[in-house]
Amino acid sequence: MLDTTAGAPSAPGRRVWQVAALCQALADTLNARFNPVRVSGEIASFTRATSGHCYFSLKDPNAQLRCAMFKRAASQLDFQPREGELVEVTGRLDVYGPRGDLQLIVESMSRQGQGNLFEQFMRLKAQLEAQGLFDAARKRPLPAMPQRVGVVTSLGAAALHDVVTALRRRAPHLPVLLAPAAVQGAAAPAELVRALESLYDYVDPQGRGVDVILLVRGGGSMEDLWSFNDEQLAHAIARSPVPVVVGVGHETDFTIADFVADLRAPTPTAAAEMVCPPTQALESLLDQAQDSMQAALERYADRQAQRLDVVTSRLGRPSSLVAQRQAALVAAHQRMRQALRSDLQWKQSQWMQQQQHWQPTAQRALRTLQERTARADLRLGLLDPTLVLRRGYAWLQDAQGNAVTSVTQAQVGDALRASLVDGTVDLRVVDSSPN
């Protein structure tokens, strides 16, 4: 062994160690005394780095030991280690010099059983599943266009920042109602239940209040997320009057709340993105709806104009048919105008609630329709029977008021009445012979 004593004088027989040398000496002693070593314990604070190395602790009720499992050994595992699992590992004890920490370098790992927390989790999961809280039939779809989002999380949680950032990016017009609660610790489950129930008071049956709720928190160990494995919280989520989205921890983390919720999100950010489509998508839907409505209005107006042309071509001279068709066309025209105006006003109201900038487009569509209606009014006016009478024609009626349109309907001596543009003239037939 190298001499690692400092240059300063020291008491006879007492050695002064440099820190690195002492750590190395401890590591050598551990290696000679214990290694290789087999240890059983419950996994806690398990993380996998981007390098593929795994870091965690093994614990029992009285102590815990830091562990490191490098990528080569981790790649040999035939299962995914999880928080709370009871495992047996083989490795070597070492001292990590930069921090002076005792750690176990794990070479192999096998399941030994399930830890206490994991056992509690599985028992509660089986109990609630038997009660039907996880049934797919009770899961509700998310609203396509929510009016207000409720959020339950801690005021100091990073999850709140992630959710607000995602909502501002995707739907800045969407109001958010926050119900703060602790997300970790012994008091957290009761606070989470109270926060959820406070949001239930803001649910409006008419659809103008909170219509979806996010229950979120960031990642952590199984102990950190344990508040979301509470039975009372599970029942509170199940009786929510609106869909609940749970985004707790990371993608690999699962809690009882995830199974009860209407939808599980892998992260808080993903939960926020699930409840609202981006503004661009809404604008695209409005564009499509506007184009479809405009095309439908134009087709309807064209059909009415075509019907008007057909009626016009069939009218050769004034008769009772003129008045009947004119009245029918006027009534149809009024109904068309009223129906189109009512439908357009309703559509405009809906658009204004979502995006007020669509109003100018709708107004242009209304002006176009009004111009078409004005042209239709003009064409109807041209069918006025008096215009024909002004050109020198007369409308003949017999004594019973029937229209006389042929010489075969009149006999010598019959009394007739001729309607002119400014009045009537009574006539008597003195001759009746066809051309």
Position 400 in a domain: yes
Q: Is residue 344 one of the residues assigned to a domain?
A: yes
Of the three residues 51, 80, 114, the one that is the final residue of a domain is 114
The answer to whether position 12 is within a domain reads no
- Burial class of residue 433 in the structure, from the number of CB atoms within 10 Å of its CB (0-12 exposed, 13-18 middle, 19+ buried): exposed
Say how far apart CA 360 and CA 385 lie, in whole Å.
41
Give the closest residue to 167 by CA, choosing from 176, 180, 154, 158. 176
* pLDDT for the residue 3: 41
Considering the domain architecture, whether residues 35 and 105 belong to the same structural domain is answered as yes
DSSP 3-state assignment of 272? helix
The backbone torsions φ and ψ at residue 111, rounded to the nearest 5 degrees and listed phi first, read -70, 135
Final residue before a domain boundary, out of 247, 277, 307? 277
Residues 292 and 220 in one domain: no
User: Of 80, 114, 148, which one is at a domain's C-terminal end?
Assistant: 114
Residue 61 maps to a domain: yes
Joined together, the tokens standing for residue 57 give 């602790």
CA distance 397 to 318: 12
Provide long-range contacts, Cβ within 8 A and 24+ apart, for 70-79. Answer: 70/105, 73/106, 73/107, 73/108, 73/109, 74/48, 76/108, 77/109, 79/111
| pLDDT block averages, 10 residues each, the chain of length 435 | 41 73 80 81 89 91 90 88 86 82 88 71 91 93 89 91 90 89 93 94 79 91 86 95 91 87 92 80 70 81 77 60 71 78 71 61 75 81 73 83 83 85 85 75
Whole-model pTM? Answer: 0.47
Question: Does 1 fall in a domain?
Answer: no
Q: Could you say which DSSP state residue 138 is in? A: G
Instruction: Pull the structure tokens for residue 343.
Output: 């439908």
Count Cβ atoms below 10 Å from residue 319 Cβ, excluding itself: 14
Q: Could you tell me if residue 435 is inside a domain?
A: no
338 and 323 share one domain:
yes
Quote the CA–CA distance of 59 and 56 in Å, as a whole number. Answer: 10
Residues 285 and 273 placed together within one structural domain of the fold = no
Structure confidence at residue 171 (pLDDT): 83
As for how many domains the chain has, the answer is 4
Which CATH number fits the domain that encloses residue 215? 3.40.50.2300
- Judge if 368 and 419 occupy the same domain: no
On whether both 157 and 87 belong to a single domain, the answer is no
In a domain? residue 122: no
Are residues 269 and 302 part of one domain? no
CA dihedral 378, 382, 383, 385 (to 10 degrees): 130
Asked whether residue 13 is assigned to any structural domain, the reply reads no
The predicted pLDDT at position 353 comes to 66
What is the domain range of residue 405? 394-428
77 and 147 housed in the same domain? no
Tell how strand 101-114 and strand 149-153 pair up: unpaired
Whether 287 and 309 share a structural domain:
yes
Q: What is the pLDDT of residue 209?
A: 81
Q: In a 10 Å sphere around its CB, with 0-12 CB exposed, 13-18 middle and 19+ buried, how is residue 87 labelled?
A: buried
Q: How many CB atoms are located within 10 Å of the residue 79 CB? A: 10
Looking at the fold, whether 100 and 82 belong to one and the same domain comes out as yes
- Check whether residue 146 and residue 252 sit in a common domain: yes
Residues 368 and 408 in one domain: no
The predicted pLDDT at position 5 comes to 41
The enclosing domain of 88 has a CATH number of 2.40.50.140
**Beta-ladder partners of 420:** 423
